[in-house]
């Protein structure tokens, strides 16, 4: 009995030591991550301007990507640093920032940031998109004129994620906006819109064609 109890207490002791070590390791990584972000913030020379309500990481990422494509690398770097300040665990923001340093010829700094991105993602490439930002739903089908609902605004790449509403017969008061969906561990995601009264639409229009819809799903995938 005493030998069994000793084994149990020994096992519990090992488990406690493992848990304490794990917590200490996580705290250590978080501290290093903060030091890296603080260093980047102090080195920022550009400026990233967004409306006050756009203060989440994906807002900064969207603007940073737009500026990167436009060749405004200094301001893009400021956006990615802001994204990391909003969410230090954004592996996509770390990867974007690393890509900017690589493009400027600072390979050493780039690899440091890529390593942080890899550490957060668990591997070189993210296998699935776990968080989707969906804009819609918008009408489409035989009785509708097909087209990109945000083409007039320069396409989805120029639309700020999570902000604004758009005309659609599916929405309350004739407008729809962004909805966030989370996928499972296999990457599957189920898009549902409980705010849309599908039965009423079918009955009022006298057909099932109204159940056809379109929209944009935006997510981050690190390569």
pLDDT attached to residue 142: 66
Per-residue pLDDT of the chain (223 residues; tens, 9 = 90+): 444 445 444 455 555 544 444 444 445 677 777 777 777 777 777 777 776 666 677 888 888 888 888 888 888 888 898 888 888 888 888 888 888 888 888 888 888 888 888 888 765 555 677 788 899 999 887 666 678 888 888 888 888 888 888 988 888 888 999 998 888 877 788 888 888 888 888 888 788 888 888 999 988 776 6
CA nearest neighbour of 58 among 19, 33, 92: 92
pLDDT attached to residue 149: 86
pLDDT attached to residue 103: 87
Contact call for residues 96 and 57 (beta carbons, < 8 A): no
What are all long-range contacts of 192-200, with beta carbons under 8 Å and residues at least 24 apart?
193/137, 195/171, 196/137, 196/170, 196/171
pLDDT attached to residue 215: 92
pLDDT attached to residue 16: 52
pLDDT attached to residue 54: 60
Helices 57-69 and 73-86: angle between axes, nearest 10 degrees:
170
Whole-angstrom distance, CA of residue 222 vs CA of residue 161 = 18
Contact call for residues 162 and 56 (beta carbons, < 8 A): yes
pLDDT attached to residue 135: 93
Cα angle 21, 29, 126; round to 5: 110
Structure tokens at 13: 């002791």
> What pTM does this model have?
0.54
Contact call for residues 136 and 215 (beta carbons, < 8 A): yes
Whole-angstrom distance, CA of residue 175 vs CA of residue 48 = 29
Contact call for residues 183 and 189 (beta carbons, < 8 A): yes
The beta strand positions in 12-109, using DSSP E, are: none
Q: How many residues does the chain have?
A: 223
Whole-angstrom distance, CA of residue 183 vs CA of residue 117 = 20
């Amino acid at each position: 009995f005493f030998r069994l109890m000793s084994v149990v207490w020994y096992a519990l002791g090992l488990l406690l030591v493992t848990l304490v070590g794990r917590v200490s390791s996580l705290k250590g990584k978080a501290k290093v991550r903060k030091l890296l972000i603080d260093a980047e913030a102090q080195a920022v020379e550009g400026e990233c301007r967004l409306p006050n309500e756009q203060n989440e990481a994906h807002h900064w990422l969207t603007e940073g990507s737009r500026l990167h494509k436009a060749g405004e690398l200094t301001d893009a770097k400021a956006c990615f640093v802001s994204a990391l300040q909003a969410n230090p665990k954004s592996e996509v923001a770390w990867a974007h920032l690393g890509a900017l340093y690589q493009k400027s010829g600072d390979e050493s700094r780039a690899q440091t940031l890529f390593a942080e991105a890899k550490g957060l993602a668990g591997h070189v490439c993210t296998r699935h998109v776990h968080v989707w930002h969906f804009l819609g739903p918008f009408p489409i089908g035989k009785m509708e004129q097909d087209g990109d609902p945000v083409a007039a605004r320069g396409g989805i790449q120029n639309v700020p994620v999570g902000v604004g509403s758009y005309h659609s017969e599916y929405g309350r008061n004739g407008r729809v906006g962004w909805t966030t969906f989370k996928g499972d561990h296999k990457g599957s995601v189920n898009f549902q819109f409980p705010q849309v009264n599908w039965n009423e639409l079918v009955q009022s229009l006298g057909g099932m064609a109204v159940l056809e819809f379109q929209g944009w799903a935006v997510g981050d995938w690190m390569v």
